[in-house]
Amino acid sequence: MNSKSLIVKDLMNKSVATIVTKNINTASVFKKYKIDFSVHGNMLLTKACDKKKVNIKNIVNDLKAVNNKVYYLKDYNSWDLDFLIDFLVNIQHEYKEENILFLKEYGEKVAKIYGKEYKELLKVNRLIQKNADTILEHMKNEERTIFPYIKKLVEAKNKKIVVNISNSPLNSPIESIEDEHEKVSKIFKKICKLTNNYKIPENTCISYKVLYLKLQQFEELLSNHMHIENNILFPKAKKLEKSLLLDL
């Protein structure tokens, strides 16, 4: 078997999340084929392609064409957990909080101007308004419970100290957070479908264009954010907690 065949076989036997975890640049390929890598990323590439009726040869070629060089600033899988949490809170949460408020404002504004002509905007606006508060509360819950606990685990390991894990939030609360990820992901998939993949109609004002561009950017960041939490941060935190239990 030549090296090319080995690469193809290796990709086919990996889950979608594993591929993106190794190289975040591959996320753009999965977005292109509308394959979920953040919430249902545990699916093998072959199965994901079958489900979406995607020619696996095409996607493998695209994956191989992606720059294989992974820069540290995007290699989230190699970051320390406490540093990864700081990034999620100070960069991504801040971006999400600022932009979800922007989307609420512009969703309402554009729906009022164009809602009669483009009926889908009324549905899009309702989804934005409904989803916004959920996302904001979701981030607060992470910052209040999950993230501080994971930081305590990291500190316990580094300083070789005992940490109270009797009320660990890494079971039911994390499952609840992952369920919320799935609900939010479904809502944005609906928005994407309603907007015909964020296609901007002709002869519309700048507010309409800005809304669609912001929605698309927000969905892309959201997918990456959920991938980092579901497939990198949470599994590593559970593994760390388990290792501390064994050391007691």
pLDDT by residue for the chain (248 residues), tens only, comes to 444 554 567 787 899 999 999 888 899 899 999 999 998 889 999 999 999 999 988 998 898 888 666 666 678 999 999 999 999 999 999 999 999 999 999 999 999 999 999 999 999 999 999 889 889 999 999 999 999 999 999 999 998 887 777 778 887 778 888 888 999 999 999 999 999 999 988 888 888 899 999 999 999 999 999 999 999 999 999 999 988 876 55
CATH of the domain at 33: 1.10.3910
Of 73, 104, 124, at which residue does a domain stop?
73
Angle 227-233-237 (CA atoms, 0-180°, nearest 5)? 150
Angle 46-48-54 (CA atoms, 0-180°, nearest 5)? 85
Of 73, 91, 112, at which residue does a domain stop?
73
* Residue 167 and residue 238 in one domain: yes
The pLDDT value recorded for residue 177 is 87
The pLDDT value recorded for residue 70 is 63
* Residue 58 and residue 119 in one domain: no
CB under 8 Å, gap of 24 or more: what pairs does 5-11 form? 7/64, 8/60, 11/45, 11/60, 11/63
* Residue 162 and residue 125 in one domain: yes
* Residue 225 and residue 109 in one domain: yes
* Residue 108 and residue 134 in one domain: yes
The pLDDT value recorded for residue 73 is 67
Tell me how far apart the alpha carbons of residues 97 and 167 are, in angstroms, rounded to a whole number: 29
Instruction: Give the domain range for residue 48.
Output: 3-73
The pLDDT value recorded for residue 1 is 42
Tell me how far apart the alpha carbons of residues 24 and 99 are, in angstroms, rounded to a whole number: 22
DSSP letters spanning the chain: --HHHHHHHHHHTSBHHHHHHH-GGGHHHHHHTT---SSSTTSBHHHHHHHHT--HHHHHHHHHHS-----GGG-GGGS-HHHHHHHIIIIIIHHHHHHHHHHHHHHHHHHHHHTTT-THHHHHHHHHHHHHHHHHHHHHHIIIIIHHHHHHHHHHHHHT-----TT-STTHHHHHHHHHHHHHHHHHHHHHHHTTTTPPPTT--HHHHHHHHHHHHHHHHHHHHHHHIIIIIHHHHHHHHHHHHHH-
Amino acid at 38: S
* Residue 68 and residue 89 in one domain: no
The pLDDT value recorded for residue 246 is 66
| Closest to 151 measured CA to CA, from 171, 172, 170 | 170
* Residue 133 and residue 219 in one domain: yes
* Residue 59 and residue 130 in one domain: no
* Residue 31 and residue 118 in one domain: no
Of 42, 58, 73, at which residue does a domain stop?
73
* Residue 135 and residue 176 in one domain: yes
Tell me how far apart the alpha carbons of residues 210 and 205 are, in angstroms, rounded to a whole number: 9
Give the up-direction half-sphere exposure of residue 6: CA atoms within 13 A in the CB hemisphere: 3
For the chain, what is the domain count?
2
* Residue 229 and residue 112 in one domain: yes
> pTM value?
0.85
